[in-house]
Amino acid sequence: MSTLTVAFSDLSKNSKRVAETVEQAQRVHVTRRDGEDLYLTTERHDRQREETADVTSRLLAALIGTDEGARAVLLAMPTVFPWIRHLSAEEVREFVVDLVDATRDAAELDVHSTLHRVIVEWRATARILADPELATQLTGSLQGEDHGEVLAP
């Protein structure tokens, strides 16, 4: 999908033209020199994106709610996330649950950072497990450094 781009200075100088562009394109990328870039979008386009996230999260949740659907999701996971081959079967199941929960957060709470964090953290775990030497170092016991049980946060 190609997104039109305008400079922030164009937005301030030619706001009417930029607004017309947004109405036609539904989404415009606004570049800034002194801050994070922005996106301008129409209300309709934003509502459609929210509906897409909602339908996707509900569909994924419904799928993992049945044995057959859960198997289908588990079979599809390596295509979407090839690095999961380094995770155990139990870790893949945990990842799917975390992914579904984060997808629900994105749709229901408009919190998208959780989904990003879940993917980044599980990918990092897979990266560690892909390196046997590193995995041994990080999962082994610390010699002479027992500080007792670590409580869950």
Reduced to 3 states (helix: H, G, I; strand: E, B; else coil), residue 22 is helix
Per-residue pLDDT reduced to its tens digit, 17-35: 999 988 989 899 999 999 9
Per-residue pLDDT reduced to its tens digit, 62-87: 999 999 999 999 999 999 999 999 99
- Give the burial class of 84: count Cβ atoms within 10 A of its Cβ; 0-12 exposed, 13-18 middle, 19 or more buried: buried
Distance CA 106, CA 100 (A): 10
Distance CA 38, CA 20 (A): 17
